[in-house]
Chain A
Amino acid sequence: MIATSTRPLLQVNHLCVDYLTDRGPVRAVDRVSLEVNKGEFLGIVGESGCGKSTLLFAIARLLSAPAEISSGEVWFTGHDMVSMDEDELRHLRWRDYSVVMQSAMNALNPVMTIAEQLADAVGAHQSMPPSQLRARSRELMRLVGIDPEHLHSYPHQLSGGMRQRAMIAMALALTPDLVIMDEPTSALDVVAQRSLMLKIKQLQREFGFATIFVTHDMSLVSHFSDRLAVMYAGQVVEIGPTRDVFADPKHPYTVGLMRSFPSISGPRQPLAGIAGSPPDLGHPPSGCRFHPRCPQVFERCAKEEPAFYTREQDLVRCFLFDR
């Protein structure tokens, strides 16, 4: 475990999320454990379908049927979120942690103005006189780089980048300790992506909130995250400081991922993908879930499930590192 002097802000222990289908429960998140410290930027990367978004919504207690948390704990500010009911959760929501979603066009109510939606978020937890609310709204807009005039616009009247920033402004309205972001840049073009990431990082330094940032774009997040977690088939396979994971990937899947992203600088290499395709979560492979596709597979991999093994500051779920 990574040694910290203070208790982590968020601690997830063996969290499992199942989708209840007609064919029986399908485990989308399998015994995931991780922690996030105060002010830390944790990136979670993985392919589509690896369960990262499900994990995120499970932590935020925003899952809807047929998905449900089947076991595990999520400790946040001293509360186990899994055992809390909606009424108790409401006190934490937005005040202590907030959420930014992938597509602002879908995440913003189309029939309310930005100002009204901001007011909603604030008004649910504090009563503020209207003039103060207006001032705060304008301040938030300026913070994310939007002209406060747009407060009175409807979501469809704003550009994609502006909508995304408006969402972030909303997420920060009550200065939460943790902001959970589900691929907030995926819907944007490359230039807007980078500018948004810089803005997020700047705000993070200013307000000191922690972030869990889920994305499939490894190269983007690695420039900004403090720690990186790699997910595959519903499990975390590697987690550690970004520098280590990025520069020296250990798990064969992480290695494969690194080789799949061409680098603009650096020597020209032939693009290697990862052979095979992600497993059917209804019938995951025996033992290590990655073993059918692993170039370094050996006998033990198909028989036992690997635990986390430590290598320097990284945790790797691979028998190669079992000493």
Chain B
Amino acid sequence: MSYLIRRLEFFFITLWAALTINFILPRIMPGNPAQAMIVRFHGRVSPEAVKAIEVAFGLHSNESIFQQYLEYLRNTLTGNFGTSVTFFPVPVGDVIRQGLPWTLGLVGMATIIAFVLGTLLGMLSAWRRGGFFDAVLPPVFIVISAFPYFWLGLLVLLAFALTLGWFPLGFAYDLTDSINLSWSFAGQVIWHGFLPALTIVVTSIGGWILTMRNTMITTLAEDYVKMARAKGLSPIRIMLMYAGRNAILPNLTGFAMSLGFVISGAILVEIVFNYPGLGFTLLQAVHSEDYALMQTLFLMLTTAVLVAVLAADLLTALLDPRTREQA
């Protein structure tokens, strides 16, 4: 129980930190987002739009900082993120809502695949020390995991889309079509999403393979694994129930915390493939100096990672009976 309380504490504190960073940044950085917007639109901005920006940042110069902070928190937590400069006059919330499902789908799918595959391969590689997996996998994946996500994306694009023509050059679906719930559309989504997903999987899987392999090697030296051998249990059962199940425990939360890195890389992949997700949105926000959009994206992504971390913590508590009793 106290374990969960500590994890919840972490959840809320990090969320608060992200919110506060968003609040502090415009104040300590040179430049004023509201001014930037006015300049950009050459003064032809409606008072409502300026107000909207100020709402997003709590920039009321006539109130105390503390009051501005509270105002900002209230707005943010009720979903009032201000208006986007890039897609003026669409509210930031709506812009995000459009790109979110694409990013969630792509990154979510790719991460799950990478995690499952990576964990299994890591287990196998540790199980058969001195075997093919153990000799080849670590160095290969050390090198691959050092590749920049976007460069691998470019390579993949070059090889499979441009040269071989097996896959489309980008975007999430055929531009001549529109979003609908048909099989052909679903097929398009998969076809278009295959290369970006492949890029994410290949680059992120290395870290998971290596970490799982390392914990597995340590676990395999434990007495209870020896005991399982002594009992004459089948090797598969030993690998999964005795070694694997224990090896994965310390890694679960760590895996979730790495999502921050994965998301960072996925953003770049989206940019390379013109995938209409949040990464692409972020790029456009950068080019238009759309601070409201950028900061809200940051908040969204942080929340996503935190939720994943909390889920992993719950899973750990479920799988490890010892955590449930920690003082």
Contacts and interface: CB of A to CB of B under 8 A. Distances in A.
A–B contact at 8 Å CB threshold (below): yes
A53 to B, nearest CB: 12
Interface string A100-111: 010100111111
Interface stretch (B26-34, B93-101, B230-238, B306-314): B230-238
Interface stretch (A60-68, A127-135, A140-148): A60-68
Nearest to A111: B245
A295 B145 CA distance: 63
A112 B231 CA distance: 15
Contacts of A62: 226, 229-230
A93 B325 contact: no
A124 B227 contact: no
A120 B228 CA distance: 9
A308 interface: no
Interface in B211-263: 221-224, 226-235, 237, 241-242, 245-246, 249
A98 interface: yes
A64 B217 CA distance: 12
Q: By DSSP majority rule, is chain B's interface helix, strand, loop, or mixed?
A: helix
B136 to A, nearest CB: 19
B319 interface: yes
A264 B249 CA distance: 49
B233 A109 contact: no
B227 A95 contact: no
B43 interface: no
B221 A109 contact: no
Contacts of B230: 60, 62, 93-94, 98-99
Interface residues of B, number: 26
B6 interface: no
B18 to A, nearest CB: 34
A106 B325 contact: no
B322 A156 contact: yes
Contact of B321 (A98, A107, A110, A121): A110
Contacts of A156: 321-322, 325
Interface of A: 57, 60, 62, 64-65, 86, 89-95, 98-99, 101, 103, 106-112, 120-121, 124-125, 154, 156-157, 170
Interface of B: 129, 221-224, 226-235, 237, 241-242, 245-246, 249, 319-322, 325
Given A121-B231, A124-B232, A154-B322, 11 more contacts: A60-B230, A90-B232, A93-B229, A93-B230, A101-B223, A101-B226, A106-B223, A107-B226, A110-B224, A120-B231, A121-B233
